[in-house]
Amino acid sequence: MCGSVVLFWLCASAVLVRDGLCAPPPPKEAWNYVEVRDGAHMFWWLYHADAGFRELPLVMWLQGGPGGSGSGFGNFEEIGPLDRDLQPRSTSWVKAASVLFVDNPVGTGFSFVDRADGFATDVSMVASDMLVLLQNFFTERPEFQSIPFYIFSESYGGKMAAAISLELTKAVAQGSVKCSFAGVALGDSWISPLDSVMTWGPYLYTTSLLDDSGLADVSGAAEAVKQAVEQQSFLKATELWSVAETVVEQNTNGVNFYNILTQESEDKRRFSAAKDFISLQALRHVSPLQRPSLSQLMNGPIRKKLGIIPQNVTWGGQAEDVFSNMAGDFMKPVVDVVDQLLSAGVNVTVYNGQLDLIVDTLGQEQWVKRLKWDGLPGFSKLRWTPLDDPASQGATGAFYKTYKNFSFYWILKAGHMIPSDQGAMALKMLKMVTQQD
Ligand SMILES: *[C@@H]1O[C@H](CO)[C@@H](O)[C@H](O)[C@H]1NC(C)=O
Ligand SMILES: *[C@@H]1O[C@H](CO)[C@@H](O)[C@H](O)[C@H]1NC(C)=O
Ligand SMILES: CC(=O)N[C@H]1CO[C@H](CO)[C@@H](O)[C@@H]1O
């Protein structure tokens, strides 16, 4: 079928020729800004699926932080068509979906606010901003209205994804946003911050990263966070969460919160620059998402390619402000939002990396077991199913369970950033969640 004339033509139109074979032409893409509030400009970047957008779902990817950029970190370090060295990524999600990166909340990545009072201060503001963006996106691109639309997320992105999904469900029912919303996937997500913090001690102890004294210290620090959360002193809880992380660092010789098999290195030195606990936490949890190599790429060749970034806007330049404006909302749980999603019939997937500390799987198990969802007893009784690791024959890559509208994927040998650690397994999960496998 594929004769030499055809092959020659394909290669001539392809940009990259490697190993004597022609690589596929670069994906069709588009990007723009939407002013979601007066003076609040949100940046999005869409890649059409390699195989054509009509046959495959549309996936919006939301990064964490808050202040981490999907168009930068998610795109070039995790799931986009090119990696940070601009080489094709074999496990890119554009192989199974059209992918929409949105730099949210405003101020993240290439998004920006004109005035210091323009940042979002809680998840409901984040959700209402995103609804404006989605309404604009689907109105401008009606060809995507009938394509199954999923929201995938990571870390704090999951907390925002849950809130956004609930607002989107209402907006679709009211007809104010025209799309085919098909589900939300919460990856290593900050749904119940306290359950994460409370399980750090037991998790680190069972993985030989705390001794008995260390366990007592970490548990004590976690208990203080718990008291603040129970008293609804959420800013105080954020401060004590920061203290608890310092206690973990001291007792583990600097375990990496994103993957317990590695250690913090370059970042740790930068922490000493923090003025206060909010700035410390922004350094801890936003700066790893915009390391110098990625910042150089985004503020260099990528900015030039995009051509629409205002001169005084720097990729990542407002990230710390995004984080600090959300500090009072940071430790609030959104478990009730997940319950509301399930009651509304939305398909919800939780996926978590085995080696993640900041949002350890143990903590996810705890809040899932407290769901008021009427399917929970059925889900709990069900046994999990192993999944082969597509990257390593004969090895188990994950376990999963699906009951009615809820699925859980336990991803092995992955930390917080699952697609960076286990790209092939993450792509397989994407296909399963979006019903292609
Ligand atoms: C960029 O410059 C414009 C015009 O001077 C100003 O209104 C805006 O606030 C600036 N934006 C940022 C992000 O500094
Ligand atoms: C939810 O998932 C089920 C399969 O588990 C599927 O049959 C159903 O269509 C999905 N719902 C939506 C809204 O896509
Ligand atoms: C597949 C499945 O069980 N879907 C359910 C999702 O939730 C709604 C609302 O509870 C049910 O009506 C569906 O049957």
Pairing relation of β-strands 98-103 and 40-47? antiparallel
Contact 407/346 with Cβ under 8 angstroms?
no
H helices present in 260-334, as ranges: 266-271, 277-285, 292-297, 303-306, 319-325
Pocket test residue of 112, 312, 322 for ligand 1, highest count of atoms within 8 A of CB: 312
User: What residues does CATH 3.40.50.1820 cover in the chain?
Assistant: 30-192+331-433
Ligand nearest to the CA of 107: 1
Say how many C-beta atoms besides its own lie within 10 A of residue 142's C-beta. 9
Pocket test residue of 371, 405, 406, 407 for ligand 3, highest count of atoms within 8 A of CB: 405
Residues with CB under 6 Å of ligand 2 are 182-183, 347, 405
Q: What is the pLDDT of residue 240?
A: 96
pLDDT in tens, 13-29: 444 444 445 555 556 99
Residue 277 is encoded by which pair of tokens?
């606990």
Residues with CB under 6 Å of ligand 1 are 112, 114, 310, 312-313
Ligand 2 mean position to 393 CA, how many Å? Answer: 30
Q: What is the pLDDT of residue 269?
A: 62
Contact 216/223 with Cβ under 8 angstroms?
no
- Which atom of ligand 1 is nearest to 113's Cα? 13
Q: What is the pLDDT of residue 3?
A: 33
Q: What is the pLDDT of residue 288?
A: 87
In CATH terms, the superfamily for domain 30-192+331-433 is Alpha/Beta hydrolase fold, catalytic domain (3.40.50.1820)
Q: What is the pLDDT of residue 18?
A: 45
Catalytic, out of 188, 217, 356, 360: 356
Is 405 touching ligand 3 by the criterion CB < 6 Å?
A: yes
**242 catalytic, yes or no?**
no
Residue nearest to atom 1 of ligand 3 (CA): 404
Q: What is the pLDDT of residue 437?
A: 80
Ligand 2 mean position to 402 CA, how many Å? Answer: 11
Residue nearest to atom 12 of ligand 3 (CA): 345
pLDDT in tens, 306-362: 999 999 999 999 999 999 999 999 999 999 999 999 999 999 999 999 999 999 999
| Low-confidence residues of the chain: pLDDT under 70 | 1-27, 266-270
Q: What is the pLDDT of residue 274?
A: 79
pLDDT in tens, 8-67: 334 434 444 444 455 555 569 999 999 999 999 999 999 999 988 899 999 999 999 999
Pocket test residue of 181, 373, 404 for ligand 3, highest count of atoms within 8 A of CB: 404
Pairing relation of β-strands 385-388 and 396-403? antiparallel
Q: What is the pLDDT of residue 36?
A: 98
Ligand nearest to the CA of 407: 2
Residue nearest to atom 5 of ligand 1 (CA): 312
**356 catalytic, yes or no?**
yes
Q: What is the pLDDT of residue 23?
A: 57
Q: Write down the residue that tokens 């995103």 correspond to.
A: 130
Alpha carbons 306 and 125: distance in angstroms, whole number: 27
Contact 186/161 with Cβ under 8 angstroms?
yes
User: In 3-state terms, what secondary structure has residue 111?
Assistant: coil
Q: What is the pLDDT of residue 271?
A: 72
Longest dimension (CA), the chain: 72
**416 catalytic, yes or no?**
yes
H or E stretch including 17? strand 17-18
Ligand 2 mean position to 136 CA, how many Å? Answer: 26
Q: What is the pLDDT of residue 108?
A: 98
Catalytic, out of 71, 92, 153, 155: 155
H or E stretch including 397? strand 396-403
Alpha carbons 92 and 44: distance in angstroms, whole number: 18
